[in-house]
Amino acid sequence: MKRHTYYIIALLTLFTACGDADFEYSGYPCYFTFNNSASQSPALASATNPGSPGIFCRITMSGGAYFNFATNQGLSDRVPLTAIDKQREYRIGVYNDTGIIVGYGNLNNPATFYAYDSQCPNCFESSNLPRYQLTMHTDGTAECGSCHRKYDMNNGGLVVSGDAGDKLIRYHGSTIGGVVSVIN
């Protein structure tokens, strides 16, 4: 009897643990590596400074020749790709042209580095179209112009206003020695 009870508990634990699993990171591919020590983007530098959490930077690519950086605090710049950058393959966002958002959240000590897709996950999921780019606000939220959901970028991309739904699409990201990497 003990043996059967053990197996029943083990199976219940297995099914309960797997039932409502909330995966922290997306399965979408994302590949971005940028050496900001060499290329000097002030916008990206402000968002990748753990001493100034709450600043987030959208990263996009234009024409295969430039990286565009724009923060939720209004700072923006454009940096030409270096010879090394041109040798790399990039996938920046779910459709490779809508971008990613990176920055340190201001709710944890030490601050957590986040990397999100720039698309509204709920509108993208329902349409599979890359036309739902989020608008970043100075308070660390990002808003969809279509469904009007607001997401808290400081807190894992959770929906904080509007209809319930999925949190922001999150990628694995890091920043070490001026090199920013978002790789999924």
pTM of the model: 0.85
Residue 155 CB neighbour total at 10 angstroms: 17
Read off the pLDDT band of 108 (50, 70, 90).
confident
The answer to whether 144 and 157 have CB atoms below 8 angstroms apart is no
Q: Write the pLDDT tens digit of every residue in 150-168.
A: 999 999 999 999 999 999 9
In DSSP terms, 141 is beta-bridged to 152
- The CA-to-CA distance between both ends of the chain, in Å, stands at 46
Instruction: Name the DSSP letter for residue 146.
Output: T
Q: What are the two backbone dihedrals, phi and then psi, of residue 70, each rounded to the nearest 5 degrees?
A: -145, 130
Rounded to an integer, the average pLDDT of 90-110 is 88
CA angle 59, 60, 66 (to 5 degrees): 110
Q: Give Cα 108 distance to the centre of its chain.
A: 17
